[in-house]
């Protein structure tokens, strides 16, 4: 938690990170004498992303942090004054200067408080929740495809939308089920486990002609004389090449020098990147020579990585070589050195790499987790549902864009076996559904009502912020990650499957449906 | 420029915004005694995005800012110590603490300096250049589709990858050819022109029962008595409805109250959002009533916005209504009130909205400019090309992933009419191509060489940073924007067209091609 207090970790979510129309509307509300009127907005999306039937909602911590720090500084107010009409009253800017979110209450995704300020919150809250939820959901899909055993590493920082996009991606792909990230800042600021070894540039930077300042390495146990690792590797190279049927001149000396340098820096965590020159004729024999030289000193290599070509086929071949070398040189652990792969892995390739019998252990994914190419945006919206205690509804001619009016509560109904039946939206003033009691409901999109008798009822909304104060401690990132995995495990397979899933049902209470019907009838008049 | 010095505007590009393997490699180089060895990297992409034949390179300012501020703080070094082996020498961390980029030289996309530090720069530079260039190119495509006349407004903040992704998107879509953004922070920190009016929530927040604290408005000229705008609007509503053949009860009173409130706040910049209830039966008559009441006081409405349904068809209908109302009420400016549209506009829809005869004036684009759905990442790479004065080449078995070795210069060759012939990559030590002299070149991907006699030669690389100092002032964002448009205008139509363009040719000098051939032959051995 200490790391999260790093002030720069609060990134760029500031009151002016907003669309200008929020500021022009603020002036409109203020001149209309309505700035302080009680209002309620809901943040939601209309369709689950990627053609699936579930989504993980994420971003709460960033939202809460933003709300609690919400304050327009003098420079912010001055900038707004420069883009609003020159005759805007100074009193309006005084009002902005005094704004904070102490009047704002946030159960997850419902925001209520003074009209002017809850309107101003629209864009930054959408910005904080929408991508976080999208990438958490994307990561969850990739985890479902990979299965629970494969290790998944997010390494998309360089493919993200700038620095903070990368930080968001690393944080929320971990929440969605990845095991860690390459992004050091995500480790420092958010506590995401970080991992990484070496790039091709490290390998190509060595020609083999370099003289290490100190090629001597002490045994792992700390006892015994130091050994010249580079010389020892050359001895092992002969044996490995003979075993593999290669000439000892074939493996690239620069690659080997790079491996030796890396092994000297990380004797307890030696890994090889095999594909800079040729996996079979260079990367693999060089790796084995270094790994076996380290083994003599009591160190175990911890992995190899493949970054081009047919990853699955190469992994199977590499595993075969490891098994045979383990037998040949009587080094059992060599048979199970973890194999990592990377290189533009998408959902289809991931499914292939995760198939039964695959020898791949760790999968690094960049572009396709970070950019969510199947659907690069979630389409969250933030809609006014009540103002001055009266329900509000957007009644556009496009039925997709109509909203559900009124201040609401939400519940999840479960069967006797703990299976999820459906979620219910109802007016906040209605009593909650009772376990064991029959309810009449209107499923969204259906023309007729239905009845349900839930065995269990769970409230879905939690009050997080009231009068500027946190109501309960926020979960840690690791707790949120565990909660997300638990929630996914409770979904039925029909809802959880990634292609053509059964849609999860959301239903309205009779009172909420009646309110919708009444406002629709009043309609555009 | 003052705004750009805002310290928080420097966003989240910090030395630890990097992949962990950069730090592990740093330790590897350091232990191998190679930290200070001279090295050169190149940042490039292999294929132009979106199937096009051009790309705008963007992000230089962010890179330079990052390089000049590059310093590991104590907390950063401590965090690295926590993820590197516990036996790492304190002297390594002292080396990190003392690092800066004063030994680093940056002609655009070439980075040379001490091996350890230029390696560390890989991920943040990729992160800063890749998305900036992608979205600038995407924006340039959208500008080419829209043509020079339509105004394009970026409004995708809520669809971006978190706060800083939004800031990056707004900045570089402006560079690529948009006219402005809804993102206030981009205006404050980067000087992007900002625009915005009102959302549906503003409209739905009014029921019509509200009593404005002061409905009186003074005439635009400042002379004459104040008038009750709300009352005046009701009078005009009768006339407008009669003209349109609507009952005066049809237009929604809440929408009208919202428009009046907005007009009282922005009498000189009144705009209407027409589609909250029904464009034809509510939004349009309400807008006309308010616009005509304002006209009586000498104010001109500045626009309307449509945000759902068939945008082109509605724009044509709205324009027709405006023209007839302009004639009927003898208010000529009403005929040409700008019509703005928004709602998930992609390249295809934009082409439709920009077609000849379209009455649309301003187009707001969010998701499809910010997320670049046709290709959500550019795939930039950063590769070692020389170390210790020796060329380096990655010789993987995947020919796509091979790199071009050696420290290079780049030139653009032009014909006598100023048309672009091709770009040449050559070794830095070669003399530059001379205008009027024949050159033998090897076009990339071709099996044979060709000769070219350029009429003009332009160097493509510029030296921006040397010994930690800027070599010349960076262009402003507006200057970069103008330069981008000029560069695009110099491309031939065959290269500029968006679908199946002719590929722009890049060729190697004979010496560079010979070096490639030599290193390839040495190859994996």
Q: Which long-range contacts (CB under 8 A, 24 or more apart) does A358-361 make?
A: A358/A312, A358/A315, A358/A316, A359/A315, A359/A316, A359/A318, A359/A319, A360/A150, A360/A311, A360/A312, A360/A315, A361/A150, A361/A151, A361/A303
Best B23, B162, B299, B374 residue to mutate vs chain A (most A CBs within 10 Å): B162
Nearest to A79 among B75, B169, B188 (CB): B188
> Which residues in chain A touch residue B401, judged by CB atoms under 8 angstroms apart?
308
Residue A365 lies in a domain: no
**Residue A396: is its pLDDT beyond 80?**
no
Asked if A271 is an interface residue toward chain B (Cβ–Cβ < 8 A), one would say no
Question: Which residue of A lies nearest to B37 if distances are taken between CA atoms?
Answer: A205
Pick the residue of A158, A259, A368, A390 with the most B CBs within 10 A to test the interface with B by mutation: A158
In a domain, A404, yes or no: yes
pLDDT tens digits, one per residue of A254-295: 999 999 999 999 999 999 999 999 999 999 999 999 999 999
- B308 — contact with chain A (CB < 8 Å)? yes
**Has residue A38 been placed in a domain?**
yes
Instruction: Specify which of A80-94, A309-323, B165-179 reaches the highest per-range mean pLDDT.
Output: A309-323
pLDDT mean over A104-113 = 77
- Averaged confidence pLDDT in chain B: 89
- So what's the pLDDT on residue A6? 40
Residue of B nearest to A263 (CA): B28
- Is pLDDT of A135 > 60? yes
Torsion of CA A6, A56, A47, B367, to 10 degrees: 30
Residue B330, in any domain of the structure: yes
For residue A38, give how far its alpha carbon lies from the nearest alpha carbon of chain B (Å).
Answer: 11
Tell me whether B522 touches chain A (CB under 8 Å): no
- Please name which of A55, A27, A30 lies closest in space to residue A43, comparing C-alpha atoms: A55
Partner-chain residue, chosen from B31, B41, B205, that has the shortest CB–CB distance to A387: B205
Q: A253-265 vs A229-244: helix axis angle to the nearest 10?
A: 130
Specify whether B339 is located in the same domain as B379. Answer: no
Domain annotation covers residue A14: no
In a domain, B491, yes or no: yes
Q: Are residues B389 and B506 in the same domain?
A: yes
CA distance A66 to A60: 10
Q: Are residues A309 and A392 in the same domain?
A: no
More confident residue, A160 or B309: B309
Highest mean pLDDT: which of A32-46, A473-487, B8-22? Answer: A473-487
Q: Is residue A195 less than 8 Å (CB to CB) from chain B?
A: yes
Determine whether the interchain pair A131/B277 forms a contact, defined as Cβ–Cβ distance below 8 Å: no
pLDDT number for residue B143: 96
Asked whether the beta carbons of residue A161 and residue B157 sit closer than 8 angstroms, the reply is no
Q: Is A384 on the interface with B (CB under 8 A)?
A: yes
The residue-averaged pLDDT of B370-392 equals 88
Closest CA to A160 of A308, A18, A365: A365
| Domain termination residue (choose one: B343, B365, B383) | B343
Report the pLDDT averaged over residues A321-328: 98
Q: Say whether both B379 and B339 belong to one domain.
A: no
List C-alpha distances in Å: B54 to A430, A471, B378, B491, B502.
59, 53, 12, 9, 10
Contact flag A21-B199 (C-beta cutoff 8 Å): yes
Structure tokens of A282?
A: 């260079």
C-alpha A162/C-alpha A164 separation (Å) is 6
Higher pLDDT, B431 or B188: B431
Do A205 and A298 fall within a single domain?
A: yes
The 3-state DSSP class for residue B111 equals: strand
Residue B62 lies in a domain: yes
Which one of A31, A184, A278 has the shortest CB-CB distance to B20?
A: A184
Out of B11, B85, B204, the one facing A163 most closely (by C-beta) is: B11
Residues 231-260 of B with CB under 8 A from A: 249-252, 258
A-to-B residue pairs, Cβ atoms closer than 8 angstroms: 433
Q: What range does the domain containing A239 cover? A: 197-343
**Which DSSP string corresponds to A187-217?**
HHHH---B-----HHHHHT--S----S--EE
**Structure confidence at residue B238 as a pLDDT band (50, 70, 90):** very high
Q: Are residues A467 and A408 in the same domain?
A: yes
Question: Which pLDDT score, from 0 to 100, does residue B524 have?
Answer: 52
B78–A contact, CB cutoff 8 A: no
User: Does residue A453 lie in a domain region?
Assistant: yes
Average pLDDT over residues A290-319: 97
Same domain flag for A339 and A389: no
Residue B128's alpha-carbon distances to A54, A159, B17, B124, in angstroms, are: 33, 10, 11, 6
User: What's the rounded mean pLDDT across residues B133-141?
Assistant: 94
Residue A390, SS3 per DSSP: strand
Residue A297 in contact with partner chain B when CB distance is under 8 A: no
Average pLDDT, chain A: 89
B332 and B394 fall within a common domain: no
- A320's torsion region: left (phi>0), alpha (psi -120 to 50) or beta? alpha
Distances (CA, A) of B46 to B55, B383, B403, B442: 11, 12, 10, 17
Grade residue B366 by pLDDT with cuts at 50, 70 and 90.
very high
More confident residue, B504 or A18: B504
Residues B196, A372: C-beta atoms closer than 8 Å: no
Touching check for B25 and chain A: CB below 8 Å? yes
Task: Sort out which chain B residues have CB atoms less than 8 A from A130's CB and list them.
Answer: 158-159
Q: Does residue A393 share a domain with residue A319?
A: no
Q: Which of A86-90, A371-375, B131-135, B243-247 has the highest mean pLDDT?
A: B243-247
Tell me: do A408 and A487 sit in the same domain: yes
Residue A401 pLDDT greater than 80, yes or no: no
Residue A522 touches chain B, beta carbons under 8 Å: no
Helices B477-490 and B162-175, packing angle to 10 deg: 50
What average pLDDT does this structure show over B167-188?
A: 92
* pLDDT score at B108: 65
What mean pLDDT comes out for the span A329-338? Answer: 97
Distance from CA of A95 to the nearest CA of B (A): 15
HSE (CB half, 13 Å, CA atoms) of A100? 10
Number of compact structural domains in chain B: 2
Q: How far apart are the first and last CA of chain A?
A: 54
Residues in B touching A17 (Cβ below 8 Å)? 157, 163, 166-167, 183-185
pLDDT category at B10 given cuts 50, 70, 90 is very low
Bridge partners (DSSP) listed for residue A273: A305
**Two structure tokens written together for B514:** 């010979």
SS3 B362: strand
pLDDT of residue A179: 97
Nearest of A372, A376, A379 to residue A44 by alpha carbon: A379
Contact: A397, B159; criterion CB under 8 Å: no
- How much of chain B, in percent, has pLDDT values that exceed 90? 58
Q: How far is B322 from chain A (nearest CA, A)?
A: 21
Q: In the listed set A327, A343, A359, which residue is the last one of a domain according to the structure?
A: A343
- What mean pLDDT do residues A233-262 have? 96
pLDDT class of A8 with cuts at 50, 70, 90: very low
pLDDT confidence of A46, banded at 50, 70, 90?
confident
Q: Out of A42-51, B362-371, B437-446, which region has the weakest mean confidence (pLDDT)?
A: A42-51
CATH of the domain at A471: 3.20.140.10
Comparison of pLDDT for A418 and A163, the residue scoring more: A418
What average pLDDT score do residues A52-69 get?
Answer: 82
% of chain A with per-residue pLDDT over 70: 96
Verify that A316 and A407 share a domain, yes or no: no
- When comparing pLDDT for A500 and B54, which is higher? A500
A contact residues 46-75, partner B, Cβ 8 Å cutoff? 62, 75
Residues B330 and B381 in one domain: no
Q: What is the mean pLDDT of residues A86-104?
A: 88
């Amino acid at each position: 938690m200490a790391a999260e207090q790093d002030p720069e970790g609060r990134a760029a979510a500031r009151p002016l990170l907003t669309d200008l129309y929020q500021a022009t509307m603020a002036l409109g509300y203020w001149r209309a004498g309505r700035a302080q009127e009680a209002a309620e907005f809901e943040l939601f999306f209309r369709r689950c992303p990627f053609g699936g039937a579930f989504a993980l909602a994420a971003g709460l911590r960033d939202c809460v942090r933003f709300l609690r720090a919400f304050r327009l500084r003098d420079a912010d107010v001055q900038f707004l004054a420069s883009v609003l009409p020159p005759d805007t009253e100074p009193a309006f800017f005084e009002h902005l200067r005094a704004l904070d979110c102490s009047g704002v209450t946030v159960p997850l995704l419902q925001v209520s408080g003074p009209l002017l300020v809850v309107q101003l919150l629209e864009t930054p809250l959408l910005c904080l929740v929408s991508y976080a939820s999208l990438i958490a959901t994307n990561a969850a899909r990739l985890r479902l495809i990979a299965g629970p055993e494969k290790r998944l590493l997010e390494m998309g920082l360089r493919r993200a939308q700038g620095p903070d996009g990368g930080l968001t991606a690393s944080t929320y792909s971990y929440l969605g089920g990845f095991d860690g990230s390459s992004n050091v800042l995500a480790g420092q600021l958010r506590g995401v486990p970080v991992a990484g070894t070496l790039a091709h540039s490290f390998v190509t930077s060595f020609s083999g002609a370099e003289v290490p300042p100190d090629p001597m390495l002490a045994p792992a146990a700390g006892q015994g004389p130091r050994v010249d690792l580079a010389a020892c590797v050359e001895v092992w190279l002969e044996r490995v090449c003979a075993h593999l049927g290669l000439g000892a001149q074939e493996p690239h000396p620069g690659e080997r020098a790079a491996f030796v340098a890396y092994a000297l820096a990380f004797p307890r965590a030696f890994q090889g990147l095999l594909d800079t020159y040729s996996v079979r004729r260079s990367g693999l024999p060089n790796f084995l020579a270094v790994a076996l030289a380290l083994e003599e000193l009591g160190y175990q290599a911890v992995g190899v990585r493949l970054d081009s070509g047919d990853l699955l086929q190469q992994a199977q071949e590499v595993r075969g070589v490891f098994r045979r070398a383990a037998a040949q040189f009587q080094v059992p652990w060599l048979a199970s050195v973890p194999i990592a792969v990377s290189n533009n892995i998408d959902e289809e390739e991931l499914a292939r790499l995760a198939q039964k019998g695959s020898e791949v252990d760790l999968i690094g994914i960049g572009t396709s987790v970070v950019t969510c190419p199947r659907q690069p945006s979630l389409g969250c919206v933030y809609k006014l549902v009540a103002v001055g205690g009266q329900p509000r509804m957007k009644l556009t001619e496009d039925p997709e864009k109509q909203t559900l009016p009124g201040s609401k509560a939400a519940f999840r109904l479960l069967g006797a076996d703990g299976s999820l039946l459906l979620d219910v939206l109802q007016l906040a003033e209605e009593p909650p559904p009772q376990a064991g009691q029959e309810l009449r409901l209107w499923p969204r999109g259906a023309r007729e009502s239905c009845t349900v008798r839930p065995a269990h009822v769970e409230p879905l909304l939690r009050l997080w912020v009231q009068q500027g104060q946190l109501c309960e401690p926020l979960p840690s990132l690791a707790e949120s990650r565990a909660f997300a995995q638990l929630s996914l495990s409770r979904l039925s397979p029909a809802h959880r499957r990634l292609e053509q899933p059964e849609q999860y049902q959301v239903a309205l209470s009779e009172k909420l449906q009646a309110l919708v019907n009444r406002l629709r009838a009043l309609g555009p008049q």
